[in-house]
Structure 1
Amino acid sequence: MNRFRPRFRFAATAAALTVVGALLTGCAGSSDDRPLVAVSTNILGDVVTNLVGDDVEVMTLMRPGADPHSFEISAAAAARLRSADLIVSNGIGLEEGLQQHLDAAAQEGVPSFVAGDAVDVLPYTSTDAEGADDPHFWTDPAQTIAVVDALVPVLEGMDGVDATAVASRSASYRGELEALDAEMSDAFAAIPAAQRALVTNHHVFGYLADRFDFRVVGAVIPGGTTLAAPSASDLADLVSAIEEAGVRTIFAESSQPDRLVQALAREADVDVAVEELFTESLTEPSGGAPDYLTMMRVNTERIATGLAPR
């Protein structure tokens, strides 16, 4: 009998916000005379927009509902990418479906900023991803602060950008990131150390775990990419880890909760709840996680509630 108890507070599809540059009508050309910054993921797109305001046109390539590991762009978007004044990407192997276009733009001399170069990169903690670097740094707000600190001078040095305005906005946004970090620390401090065990449908919370003293017990999808698929052996190992850790709540990305439930239900009768989290993409405004700060606060509340003493 399947005794999973899914608890989904939002009927959400993992998605994206901050598509400030038009990707359908605007990619073929634009009359906008502002500097153009092309950003790979919508999480970074939101961060960049908070720093530059309306002074810069921000073209976020990752659309709502896209997977950062596999999303692709149109030929028109790729052409406009090569005419950008700056490209901001995540790096660390995240943009698997976009990398060829990022490389082509770099070869044509488009300046680029790779966020992963500004963070303390961690390896995946799981043996099934052993040897690979983890690109999901944004789950630790302190790493996002490091990215902001490195990106601001680059933005300030762009032609046509009001450096004073960027400095002012970045100081304000940095303060919001610091407040988020403090909120997360306080929320997670209430979870007993023995219960700080995370199981997800793929490895995405390594940085959060490292910063806030969680254990990553396992993930349904092996490795660090959603392009992989779990084997029967992977699922059996995960079930054993769940039982040994006494995990009562599993966290699934909002785009794939059913897949997680079904995969584990086929493998064993494990009595756990499944809670949705927003992990690799922002949502539409009505989707529950329209910006980075909100996404992190929602996830923090759900993790703290799901792992709280009962």
Structure 2
Amino acid sequence: MLNRRHTLLGLGAVATLAAASPLAAAEGPLRIVATTGMIADAARQIGGAEVAVTALMGPGVDPHAYRQTRTDIAAMTRADLTLWHGLYLEAQMEDFFHALARKRTVVAVAEATPKALLRSHDDYADKYDPHLWMSPELWKYVVQEVARALTQARPEAEAVFAANLARHLGELDRLSAYGRRSVAGVPEAKRVLVTAHDAFGYFGRDYGFDVLGIQGISTQSEAGLNRISGLVDTLVERGITAVFVETSVADRSMRALIEGAAARGHEVVIGGELFSDAMGDDGTYEATYVGMLDHNFTTIAGALGADVPAGGMDGTLGAGH
């Protein structure tokens, strides 16, 4: 009932604010609202000076559980363009976005990815794993859809958007190559990534890792005692000595996993903190998509035995952006 009440309030606010919203200004930057930091970064990379981007979900925020606030609703109903991920990532907000789309321009940018390239969802037969940003190759489809949406919103800037898109796609190619170089030094037997939830499936597919999450694809799925017990067995049997926590997911289940292994006489340490559903702190290199993945590649590979540079791809990890 609370969920329904929240949705109805949101839809009512859409109708009220959209009716009062002024027409988009012909001059000045496009006003863009993006749900996640990853999408916001893509819009900034492609839009440059042509856009002013607001991200709804900041560092450490879980998009699986996020609900729009009244401030969010006001921002989106006044924006020239709202970009959301789709693929059931922002499940709690879907009704709101469909209602907003009747009044404003709204684009689910991940929905442009070919379905044949997507992993099936472990909880819903007709849904897909939404964590495309874990693969720079898949993220290219999202970036290109962002460019298409910006061009449609401001066709006179098409040449600017096209040039920025080409540059950014080149950065993603370089990032993907760095990821492959980094993990190449991880012994085959150690290519097991244990995390709080199953956000790294596309990473595992691209880079040859078994990925084991305590929770499923959504952080809203339950992490039962049977699942933790089964993972403890796997840690012991396969000799896995490092697991990873996530910036946007509480680490209590991961601590239980480590304690369970210790009770079996097997020492497991935290190999590092990964960015799963949100990027780094504002103003840092890790608050960009490239920085986020650079951090993950470097942290995972280094903790599992590869010789990687502490500063990552360009020596900028840990530095301000």
The answer to whether TM tops 0.5 is: yes
Gap runs ≥5 in structure 1: 1-27
The amino acid of 1:273's aligned partner reads: V
**Alpha-carbon distance, 1:157 to partner:** 2.4
Taking a change above 3 Å as real, the CA distance of residues 121 and 161 of structure 1, as seen in their structure-2 partners, is farther
- Say whether residues 1:153 and 2:148 are aligned partners: yes
The residue matched to 2:214 in structure 1 has which SS?
A: strand
Corresponding residue number in structure 1 for 2:269: 273
Whether contact under 8 Å (2:196, 2:251) holds in the other structure is no
**Structure 1, residues 231-259: CA drift from partner, whole Å, max 9, x if none?**
21111111112223321111110244641
Whether contact under 8 Å (2:195, 2:245) holds in the other structure is yes
- Say whether residues 1:230 and 2:223 are aligned partners: yes
Corresponding residue number in structure 1 for 2:241: 248
**May I ask how many residue pairs the two structures share in their alignment?**
278
Taking a change above 3 Å as real, the CA distance of residues 149 and 110 of structure 1, as seen in their structure-2 partners, is closer
Q: TM-score, normalised by structure 2?
A: 0.78
Whether contact under 8 Å (1:35, 1:56) holds in the other structure is yes
Taking a change above 3 Å as real, the CA distance of residues 246 and 309 of structure 1, as seen in their structure-2 partners, is farther
- Say whether residues 1:220 and 2:217 are aligned partners: no
Corresponding residue number in structure 2 for 1:69: 64
The residue matched to 1:54 in structure 2 has which SS?
A: helix
Q: After the TM superposition, which residues 76-87 of structure 1 pair with which residues of structure 2 at under 5 Å, given as runs? A: 76-87=71-82
**Alpha-carbon distance, 1:188 to partner:** 1.1
Q: 2: CA distance between counterparts of 1:161 and 1:49? A: 17
Q: TM-score, normalised by structure 1?
A: 0.81
**Alpha-carbon distance, 1:40 to partner:** 1.1
The structure with higher relative contact order (CA 8 Å, sep 6+) is: 1
Q: 1: CA distance between counterparts of 2:100 and 2:133? A: 25
The residue matched to 1:271 in structure 2 has which SS?
A: coil
**Structure 1, residues 38-62: CA drift from partner, whole Å, max 9, x if none?**
2111111111111001212222221
The residue matched to 1:227 in structure 2 has which SS?
A: coil
Q: 2: CA distance between counterparts of 1:279 and 1:253? A: 6
Q: After the TM superposition, which residues 295-306 of structure 1 pair with which residues of structure 2 at under 5 Å, given as runs? A: 295-306=292-303
The residue matched to 2:153 in structure 1 has which SS?
A: coil
Taking a change above 3 Å as real, the CA distance of residues 40 and 227 of structure 1, as seen in their structure-2 partners, is same
Name which of structure 1's ranges 30-39 and 85-94 shifts more when overlaid on structure 2: 30-39
Whether contact under 8 Å (2:258, 2:268) holds in the other structure is no
Write 1 or 2 for the structure with the bigger share of helix.
2
Q: After the TM superposition, which residues 186-197 of structure 1 pair with which residues of structure 2 at under 5 Å, given as runs? A: 186-197=181-192
**Alpha-carbon distance, 1:134 to partner:** 0.8
Whether contact under 8 Å (2:64, 2:219) holds in the other structure is yes
Name which of structure 1's ranges 73-82 and 170-179 shifts more when overlaid on structure 2: 73-82
Q: 2: CA distance between counterparts of 1:38 and 1:207? A: 26
RMSD: 2.5
Q: After the TM superposition, which residues 97-112 of structure 1 pair with which residues of structure 2 at under 5 Å, given as runs? A: 97-112=92-107
**Alpha-carbon distance, 1:276 to partner:** 1.1
Taking a change above 3 Å as real, the CA distance of residues 130 and 154 of structure 1, as seen in their structure-2 partners, is closer
Taking a change above 3 Å as real, the CA distance of residues 35 and 285 of structure 1, as seen in their structure-2 partners, is closer
- Say whether residues 1:139 and 2:145 are aligned partners: no
Identity of aligned residues (%): 27
Q: 2: CA distance between counterparts of 1:187 and 1:205? A: 16
